[in-house]
Amino acid sequence: MISRRRLLTVGSSAVAGGIIGAPFVARAQSAEFSYKYANNLPLTHPMNVRAREMAEAIKKETNGRVDIAIFPNNQLGSDTDMLSQVRSGGIEFFTLSGLILSTLVPAASINGIGFAFPDYDTVWKAMDGDLGAHVRGHIAKANLVAMEKIWDNGFRQTTTSTKQINTVEDFKGIKIRVPVSPLWTSMFKALESAPASINFSEVYTALQTKVVDAQENPLAIISTAKLFEVQKYCSLTNHMWDGFWFLANRRAWEAIPADLQKIVAKNINDAGMKERADVFALNAGLQKELADKGMVFNQPSADSFRNKLRTGGFYAEWKGKYGDEAWAILEKAVGKLA
Ligand code: X2X
């Protein structure tokens, strides 16, 4: 059965543009599990490209019993809104940065500790290994299901409309947008910036209207969300690695019979692996493309940033928050931090 309300909701989003997949009438009539997957990224980002293939494969391999409709680009609201929807069951699937998820699951921000990861090999070893398992355990306690493979957002870079960031002195006092997460705010305060918590749905406008002068994101997002139109400088600070947990509402997930769950999970995790490769390739090639569009790049040394975090007590403070056991799992993966 499909309620009138659901038809209206799905129908009106389709009209708003961007619903991916088969027309909703066919889906509603044929699929036993008509689920929504929502996210905050543009259609052109590898996350949505791979998710579309994933949804098609799931539909095919489940003989139409599981049909996932994708709502990209904050169509269903900001990350904060979507997090409450996936908790209540208003949406069944949602990809969210672990750092933002930490507003609900404090342990989930640990991979975002400043300058923790030197490279992608270390990231995937940790996130597909003990550190990821530790975080997923905490997510499960919050009644959400996290798929095994975290999707890549990337190493984050700093853009501004005003100046290059060369040393920690340049972070002083800049009005920088950060996602809604205590770790982000804490880190940019430790760098003596003036961080403002703003959901991604508002970032382009906030930069355009100069509510803030700066933001930080991986190149794949600076490109696909067209932030280069409203930012001039890009400093390759690589200050943290960020990824998206593919989350499911627990009740909705458990409603799916085990044999179908297996097909769904496999396709989601496979799509995540492909998305990782896509983002890696994109980030590697984008500097030139963004420079051609007018962005001015520089590559600062991380030393002054890291020293400031260390001497200001940032690592000690967060070690205390996560606890010794979690910190030991992190340091086992990345080496001694403080
Ligand atoms: O909000 C952001 O900056 C983004 C898109 O990178 C995240 O989802 C954390």
Instruction: Per-residue pLDDT tens, the chain, 338 aa: give them.
Output: 334 444 334 434 444 444 555 444 444 457 999 999 999 999 999 999 999 999 999 999 999 999 999 999 999 999 999 999 999 999 999 999 999 999 999 999 999 999 999 999 999 999 999 999 999 999 999 999 999 999 999 999 999 999 999 999 999 999 999 999 999 999 999 999 999 999 999 999 999 999 999 999 999 999 999 999 999 999 999 999 999 999 999 999 999 999 999 999 999 999 999 999 999 999 889 999 999 999 999 999 999 999 999 999 999 999 999 999 999 999 999 999 97
Q: Determine the atom of ligand 1 nearest the C-alpha atom of 178.
A: 3
Nearest residue (CA) to ligand 1, atom 9 = 97
Mutate to test the pocket of ligand 1, among 94, 156, 217 (most ligand atoms within 8 A of CB): 217
Cα(180) to centroid(ligand 1), Å: 9
Q: Can you tell me the distance from the alpha carbon of 6 to that of 310, in angstroms, rounded to the nearest whole number?
A: 51
Q: Which of 48, 101, 242, 247 to mutate to test the pocket of ligand 1 (most atoms within 8 A of CB)?
A: 242
Query: 236 with 166: CB under 8 angstroms?
Result: no
Judge contact between 165 and 300, C-beta under 8 A: yes
Nearest-atom number in ligand 1 for the CA of 177 is: 3
The pTM for the full model equals: 0.92
> What are the DSSP E strand ranges found in 3-160?
33-38, 66-71, 93-97, 144-146, 151-155, 157-160
Nearest ligand 1 atom to alpha carbon 225: 5
Contact 93, 38 (CB under 8 A): yes
